[in-house]
Amino acid sequence: DGGITQSPKYLFRKEGQNVTLSCEQNLNHDAMYWYRQDPGQGLRLIYYSQIVNDFQKGDIAEGYSVSREKKESFPLTVTSAQKNPTAFYLCASLRGRGAFFGQGTRLTVV
């Protein structure tokens, strides 16, 4: 069953801790993306990657880091430097005419 999977669906983090969000796809898509969505707002681009071992900053990369060691995987780390990390995080992958999202991870700082 092909698709893009994010885990976990809900995540709670204490202030000062780093946390890693998982994103895996088996669609053989080259490009992958991470977005942040705040309540009632649009999607803002954090990082994106066109190929393995290469990635680019989006509009709001500060306080986040990524890696792209495998085509299928594009994990996002929310570091303690991110001032306001509570948000809905969405991962997407793209190839040709198709760009699809995972189900999202809702991160809450407690």
Partner 1 sequence: GQNIDQPTEMTATEGAIVQINCTYQTSGFNGLFWYQQHAGEAPTFLSYNVLDGLEEKGRFSSFLSRSKGYSYLLLKELQMKDSASYLCAVRDQDTDKLIFGTGTRLQVFP
Chain residues that interact with partner 1, rule: CB under 8 A: 30-31, 33, 35, 41-45, 48, 50, 56, 58, 90, 92, 94, 97-104
Shortest Cβ 74–partner 1 spacing (Å):
13
Q: At its nearest, how many Å lie between partner 1 and the CB of residue 46?
A: 12
Single-letter amino acid code for the residue at 88: F
> What is the smallest separation between the CB atom of 14 and partner 1, expressed in angstroms?
24
- Compare residues 31 and 109 and give the one whose CB is closer to partner 1: 31
Q: What is the DSSP string of 22-35?
A: EEEE-S--SEEEEE
Listing DSSP states for 6-60 in one string gives: EE-SEEEE-TT--EEEEEEE-S--SEEEEEEE-TT--EEEEEEEEETTEEEE-TT
Which pair of structure tokens corresponds to residue 27? 């669609």
Nearer to partner 1 by C-beta: 3 or 17? 3
Minimum CB distance to partner 1 smaller for 18 or for 41: 41
Q: How far is the CB of 79 from partner 1 (least distance, A)?
A: 23
